[in-house]
A and B are shown apart, each in its own frame.
Chain A
């Protein structure tokens, strides 16, 4: 009988210890000071830091006025119908079209565009087939008659139901995608 009680105690203790494991809480750390950064971590909340918090209490900040991000160039066309028409008519691709840039463009197209526009640019991506997005035009749609300038403009600002992809692609990458889209357009019948 005594041994039964002992076994019970051991099992109870084991149960107590395992039941303390909570999946929604992180495990405890040995020396937390060595785990936590003194410098700001990405996305960190910076409330009440000794050097004075930011206004938004976030580490992620909007760049200061008049500065541009690395890999970015200022873009002079406005996000309006007039800006679109102007870009469509006059904006030209500044980087040469090479095998390499097309390969890069294809890779980026596969990540950012193909899910809606389809691997061939015919508007039949996964989301279109699953009817999440409808009416995605083909790249060779005569009513739209896209040009390199208009493609770049739309990646930059988005149009109608397509959102802006400017923060996922830098200037050069956008032009690489434009090159690949033009290639798909020429291949469509």
Chain B
């Protein structure tokens, strides 16, 4: 009994100690967590425009910056306070490390944050001192699931086929045995076939039937021949592989970037230009990798490694993410043109986009959902003409049309006009 008592007391003490420890540790963690969370909010709002935690951006990577400075340069938190509140003053004061950092980062001036309190800066430093989270192992479950789904449907299909085969075999056997019985009983008379003219001969002898079927055959042949010739030179559905996989689904769909951000010349010129790569780099200087979710989706669903595609962009522009500068020889990208009108047609994007205000999707389809772009419209003359017949001219806020609009209103006594009424069906509008 004594022993048991003894054990009890020890476990009690241990329990109390554990409880005490837990209480302390949770409060300690809670304080720490609050500091880190506050630091993260401040960091994302103020610092993240130029600093990343783990890679160089406009400014240096900041994970563990305090420890790094203390170890390598012997600088304390006081120095960081001064630097963050007014880095320019520190540089001017001739501080050795301040000048070194300034030179190392292409003389970019860091915005001064005089309003930060010591506590704010402490919080930010607490956030940057967090160890790097270990990336979760990529789950293969989605792939397995789909594979499993495909497997099970296949199994079901095969089972069904086998089942039907057995059923057919059974019926055939039953039929055969029944027939045998019938023959044995003498109830089934196997008829002697009466000599009749074959179906083919009967058909040939019936001239009316021959003429009708010939007419039908010719009409059918004409129908198919017409369809065949009409699709010559029509590239609807053309979906070439581009040298760099660019997903309109992600850029225009998920991120809702305006079409005209990249295709800016659609506003002002005949062509809706392919953006030069500096436009890509406006964002991808900062975005060197897609998020883990997007990457996983790309690999499992579309079979594309998006990070590799961004790397291709860097190779083409000569950008080195480590140095944050264009150091290598640029190589032009040979994009494959999808939409191509023949040389004998004139089409002007700015007239349709800026003047008429036609949405890009009207002709190009739901681009923001396309992983790989394909030609949505047939781009045939009939297709152009139909749209010109159906579409009202956009007179609003267009001084160019004011006078003619008034005149046409008087002449026809209507408010709106189809493009066709304004000469959009004239040959010379597009062919000259």
- Residues of A participating in the B interface, judged by any CB pair closer than 8 Å: 23-30, 34-38, 42-43, 45, 56, 58, 80-81, 110-112, 115, 126-127, 130, 132-137, 142-144, 158, 160-165, 167-170
Within the assembled complex, what's the spacing in Å between the Cα atoms of A162 and B111? 15
* Contact between chains at B58 and A135 (CB < 8 Å): no
A38's nearest neighbour on chain B, judged by CB, is B343
Task: Compute how far the CA of A168 lies from the CA of B260 in the bound complex, rounded to whole angstroms.
Answer: 9
Q: Is B80 an interface residue (CB 8 A)?
A: no
| A135 and B49 contacting across the interface, CB-CB below 8 Å | yes
- Give me the interface of B with A, judged by CB distance under 8 Å: 43-50, 57-58, 107-109, 111-115, 231-235, 237-241, 254-258, 260-261, 264, 268, 271, 273-274, 276, 278-279, 281-283, 285-287, 332, 334-335, 337, 340, 342-344, 374
Nearest 6 CB-CB pairs, A to B?
A: A134-B48, A163-B282, A135-B49, A135-B48, A168-B264, A35-B342
A14 to chain B, nearest CB (A): 10
Q: A186 vs B111: C-alpha distance in the bound complex, in angstroms?
A: 21
- Check if B257 sits within 8 Å of A115, measured CB to CB: yes
Contact, CB under 8 Å: A135 / B233:
no
A132 to B310, CA, bound (A): 14
B290 nearest CB neighbor, chain A only: A132
Q: Chain A: which residue is nearest B375 at the CB level? A: A26
Known: A24-B239, A135-B46. A168 touches B279 (CB 8 A): yes
Question: Hey, which chain B residues are within 8 Å of A37, CB to CB?
Answer: 343
- Residues in B with CB closer than 8 Å to A56 are 332
Q: Which B-chain residue is minimally distant from A81 (CB atoms)?
A: B109
Partner of B234, one of A23, A25, A27: A27
What are 5 A-B interface contacts by the 8 Å CB criterion?
A37-B343, A43-B335, A136-B49, A137-B111, A165-B282
User: In the complex the two chains form, is B232's CB within 8 Å of A161's CB?
Assistant: no
Q: How far is the CA of A114 from the CA of B100 in the complex (A)?
A: 36
Given contacts A35-B343, A133-B286, A168-B279, contact A115 B261 (CB under 8 A): yes
With contacts A134-B44, A168-B261 known, is A161 near B233, CB below 8 A? no
Contacts of B113 in A (CB 8 A): 143
Task: State which of A58, A111, A161 has its C-beta within 8 Å of the C-beta of B50.
Answer: A161
Measured CA separation A134–B46 after assembly (Å): 8
